[in-house]
Chain A
Amino acid sequence: MNKYLRIKRLAITLKEFWISNRMLVFSFPLMILLCIAIFYLWPGGIFYEKWVNPDTFSSQDAWLNALLTTHTTQRVLILFVIPIYLVICTKPTLDKLNKSERTNLTPITRLERTFGLTLFAIGFTCLAFACFILYDHVIAAWFNNLYYEEAIRYLEAHGNLYPKISDRTALYPISTNILGVAFMMIILFLPLYFLSLVFFRKNSFILFLGLLVLIIITLVFFLRWLLVQETSSISIPIKGFFPLTLNILLVVGYWYLAMATFYHKLKEKEI
């Protein structure tokens, strides 16, 4: 029975998340904007010096040189506000699944709980990414409008016949590849986080962290042992469809196993 999934009850689990966290969700765009503002206006940064302390740059050329040589792709780190938000939004629910009598007697199956939690987390991550990308594009377009022509003229004046501005500067939004890696990291973190709160009955997070560290240490020792034993190696430089498929299968396999473990850990606990 507990493996049943009804859309009505799934919608109720999503509504539970929405009502509990809507203020947090609404605050997210502001939080991202604040983080971006802090990133660009951090004392010592080129924009802080340009706007708050303009005397730092002796000339416009000095400013343009700084603009073209300063890489600002680190702003992708702002995206790691998303897991923090996810933890704040979902931890009370995950705790209740471990402890609350009412939650465990609410007529919702654990499959519906698992799906609801996953959908909320992925949905929030996607919206948060969309919000960040939107801000990033708007800000890059604004910087472009302010400095692009000047930057090109500066490069041409310095003998660059084919001026090209690095896409790591503030004049360009973050590349899709970098965003993709950040997205994958957050998505891969999710099931581990879910598991960490239900894996053990008490102090689950700390114990699970300990378990992970133990697994990683064992793995490192095993790999080191393999390397020591290795007398020859064969490397097959293949690219294209098969390695990509293998990567996708590994990620999907990891996700499936982690979520299946989470689902089984939710199995009727004694409260």
Chain B
Amino acid sequence: MIAINNLSFHYKKDITIFDNINAALSPGHIYGLLGLNGVGKTTFLKLICGLLFPKTGTVKINDFTPSNREVTFLSDIYFVTDEVDLPPWTIANFLDIYAPLYPNFDASYFDDILAAFQVDRSEKIKSLSYGQRKKVNITFALATNANFLLMDEPTNGLDIPSKTQFRKLMARHVSPDKTIIISTHQIRDIHQLIDHLLILQDSKLVLDESLYELGRKLKFQQGTYADALYSEIGLNGNNNIRSNIDGEESLFNIELFFNAISTHPDLLTKLANSSLQNHE
């Protein structure tokens, strides 16, 4: 369980990045962390893994304080950064050195994933392309079997088949004891994976809700609707977000939803109100 309480953070005193954020992220989910450029998605992940320290408030992961960077904690968390920072050795050497540091590391799983990504184990990391290095890093991250997996733009640089492969691997990887947070702009790459949305906006975590709950409140339809909460012109007519009063099921369009929240922040208030009305 990741417990974030009253978290505030800034790099410079006059520029607030996070202001009093609260969240409780439970295992067994893949969280999609969304936000506009510069809103602090990477900073949020860094605060969770302990690379940055909260100015006020706390972050706790299973009773560990990440900023203490205790070895037991570090061996149960892996952060896949956007920039791949791996040593220039061969993949085999990289594995020999660092795999023993993770008690649940599965070497055969590593080989399987690497084969699926079509990367040769005997290659030197420095001779690989950015996308291939990213694949090695993702492979290592998954093979650690760490219970907390943080991924910052994991599909950046991956070719199209690898993105498909990535989705398959992640879907297989999630388990009741694992917490996975994926921060991305390329929501189409992973929208089938995510089951919980975290949206950062204006120094706040403005949304922390499961797609299931959101799907109960909203529905996505094409056409022209006067009661649409948000509409966007698409190739096949208008794409609409409407209140799901009748409990109709529709495919949750994360991209449309995110655009709606980014351009109409009041939508969240409407959503909260409709939620209250539903409860009443």
Residues of chain A at the chain B interface (Cβ within 8 Å): 1-2, 4, 8-9, 12, 15-16, 19-20, 100-109, 268, 270-271
Q: Smallest CB-CB separation from A96: which chain B residue? A: B85
Between A1, A102, A103, A106, the greatest number of chain B beta carbons within 10 A of the residue's beta carbon is seen for A102
Q: Is the CB of B97 within 8 A of A271?
A: no
Q: Which residue of A lies closest to B85 (CB)?
A: A102
Indicate if the CB atoms of A101 and B68 lie closer than 8 Å.
no
Quick one: which of A19, A105, A268 contacts B97, CB cutoff 8 A? A19
What are 18 sample pairs from A and B whose C-beta atoms fall under 8 A apart? A1-B70, A2-B69, A9-B71, A12-B101, A15-B97, A16-B97, A19-B93, A20-B89, A101-B79, A102-B79, A102-B85, A104-B51, A104-B69, A105-B50, A105-B69, A107-B102, A270-B51, A271-B46
Contact A102 B101 (CB under 8 A): no
CB atoms of A1 and B79 under 8 A apart: no
A98–B101 Cα distance when bound, in Å, is: 21
A100 with B46: in contact, given A105-B79, A107-B74, A268-B68 (CB under 8 Å)? no
Bound complex: CA A15 to CA B98 (Å) = 10
Specify which of B50, B74, B100 is in contact with A12 (CB 8 Å cutoff). B100
CA gap between A102 and B53 in the complex, in Å: 17
Considering the chains assembled together, what is the distance between the CA atoms of A228 and B67 in angstroms?
52
The reply on B113 being an interface residue by CB < 8 A is no
A2 pairs with B68, CB closer than 8 A = yes
Complex Cα distance, B99 from A106, in Å, reads 10
* Identity of the chain A residue whose Cβ is nearest the Cβ of B70 in the assembled complex: A1
Q: A102-B85, A105-B49 are in contact. Are A268 and B69 (CB under 8 A)?
A: yes
How far in angstroms is the closest Cβ of chain A from B55?
A: 11
Instruction: Give me 8 other A-B pairs in contact (C-beta within 8 A), A20-B89, A102-B79 excluded.
Output: A101-B46, A101-B79, A105-B49, A106-B98, A107-B75, A108-B71, A270-B51, A270-B53
Q: Which residues of B contact A4 (CB under 8 A)?
A: 71
- Nearest chain A CB to B121's CB is how many angstroms away? 16
- Chain B binding site: helix, strand, loop or mixed by DSSP? mixed
Assembly CA distance A165 to B178 (angstroms): 76
Residue pairs across A and B with CB atoms within 8 Å: the count is 70
Contacts of A100 in B (CB 8 A): 85
Q: Of A1, A100, A107, which is in contact with the most chain B CB atoms at under 10 Å from its CB?
A: A107
Contact of B224 with A by CB under 8 A: no
Q: Which has the most chain B C-beta neighbours within 10 Å: A12, A15, A105, A108?
A: A105
Contacts of B86 in A (CB 8 A): 102
| Contact status A107-B101, CB under 8 Å | yes
The verdict on B52 contacting chain A, using a C-beta distance below 8 Å, is yes
CB atoms of B52 and A106 under 8 A apart: no
Given contacts A1-B71, A102-B81, contact A108 B101 (CB under 8 A): yes
Q: B213 → chain A, closest Cβ, in Å?
A: 32
Q: Is the CB of B87 within 8 A of A101?
A: no
A109 cross-chain contacts in B, Cβ below 8 A? 71
B97 → A minimal CB distance (Å): 5
Q: Which residues of chain A are near B52, meaning CB under 8 Å?
A: 270-271
Whole-angstrom distance between the alpha carbons of A103 and B97 in the complex?
13
Q: How far is the CB of B40 from chain A (nearest CB, A)?
A: 14
Indicate if B72 sits at the interface (CB-CB under 8 A): yes
Question: By the criterion CB–CB under 8 Å, are B51 and A106 in contact?
Answer: no
Give the docked Cα–Cα distance between A99 and B62 (Å): 27
A176 to B92, CA, bound (A): 44
Complex Cα spacing A268 to B70, Å: 10
Which residues of chain B (61-115) have a CB below 8 Å from chain A? 67-72, 74-75, 77-79, 81, 85-87, 89, 93, 96-98, 100-102
Q: A12-B100, A19-B97, A271-B51 are in contact. Are A105 and B74 (CB under 8 A)?
A: yes
